Structure 1
């Protein structure tokens, strides 16, 4: 990994080779910015311009991997080029090193280089002109600006655009990720809700069918068998009706249909009558007072599941259902006879109590279920304020 990080980019290799060959070609053709007789030319050997040219070309190999090092070496080679007849290619390669140092360097280097080169541009033109009292010295500042400040400023602008584009890309990816998380959570929540609805709708009817079919098979009594078959048929019809209602909610074209009726506390009397028809001795005390629709639905389902559990597990005796509306909450209490070690009359999945707890928790309420003085007690408190906002 470290060797790969130090390996020059192939485009940098092309720039270095192309710059070196171009400079050698211009040197071969005798194209140079200065003549050997000029005062600034201190190194008059014909091959002298090739030395700074080779150094700056080699620095191009570092323009991405070590941009700051490449710029420092190129800066050291540039004065060497000024004391020879010079090469235009060396200057061009140096401007690219300055541009690359800002574009690929550290954030600190990118911030400082435009300011440093800008100050050098001003000082390089103003100070010599003031000292020498010759306006022509201002051209030196222009040269510094072209060679150093202009590439640094260009690199700064390009870097800002690149960083902005990268930030926009990351924001888009984050938005897409959050949207996917929200979608997954929504699907999971909807599946859990439908699982609770399906369990509450079907479990009671199927439990009654299982219990009465067992009685019909175990007792050789035509009258008992006929009564059991009547209960089985009634629960089968009601279960199918509930399933059709649930399927209608799930269908894609359900928007074209009339909305399905949502169970409320007003339906508790009919629910209790159905439980009595299945053989339970149920006593209902529903109290008085209106509650929000989400609270009413949750209370109905909790009572429904509690009666289903009583049908499957309760011992002989009365089942009591009590609801009490307070100023800020609805209290539900369902008790049934309980004897430890009794065998259930119908198999269960164990999801009933968990589903009731989920319903209560969604509204900010609590649910407790367990044996209490020889009776199985389901105690629930549902806040009414949470129901208004649910």
Structure 2
């Protein structure tokens, strides 16, 4: 929380600066308006300025010394009495700003008694004028300094309270997010992961049965190839789900080798796996991947991988038989460009029956989260996905 400049002017750290500013004003007053008439007055003025400078560090002792100097100056009939009164009053103000309690009461009492001693010859007849001077010289600085101190301390307490409230709100938000992540992780484990695990087991049984049947009958090798691919894909999906559940449950205590869906430096291999899997579905894929993507941070690396997966999956699903697709991932001036373009959209791409998926929504949310841009739609021939993930300079790992 930003502090007002007026409050900073009365901060304890800037006491010396305040004293120096006052000393500069008094030097100007002594040189321009009321010059000391002799060496004695110059000496008293110089002593007052030295005590003024000392007040920045030892304010209580400086106030006591200034009170004594004021008595001496008045006894000698010096013209610097008025200036020394101002110095003493400002020093008392500084003491009230910095401290409270006995030292402040003692300093104010000493200065008030100094005024009374200097006007002792006017007592008792001039009691009211003397009391008035005591209030002006000692009472007013005491009240103003105490007010500044109380106001400053109240503002400090208010800021500390606001910071505590902000911290508590942040902790509540983190706790709510943790509870939400735990709920999502539980649902993923109990529902999705359970069914995927069952699929893996059933496909494994089918592979075993097919292999056993192959010893007594002729088995189409394409069936075996499809079952092998399905088993591998389901197993990879189950591994990713388990990693995701681990990340959701304990994102801060997750082992990087387990919790990261894309290990550092493994993005190139992961993209190659995505391309190979798309080719196994019958899609002809041409891939051009910049080696610099291997240096991306984990968040952007995962975003690039998911964009490539979704784009090629859509091309395989909607591009039609014999469709061709191009995947390009480039790093240009610290900006990652991901492009997926297929040429079969114009003939066979039709809306799938039933509810629409969330792939496009998820891609947009992922790109928006990174401050990027995503364009998806029909091209001159086929369908095109184009994404940009900017501001990578500060997130790329140093090249070895």
TM-score between the two structures when normalised by the length of structure 2: 0.47
| Larger radius of gyration between Structure 1 and Structure 2 | 1
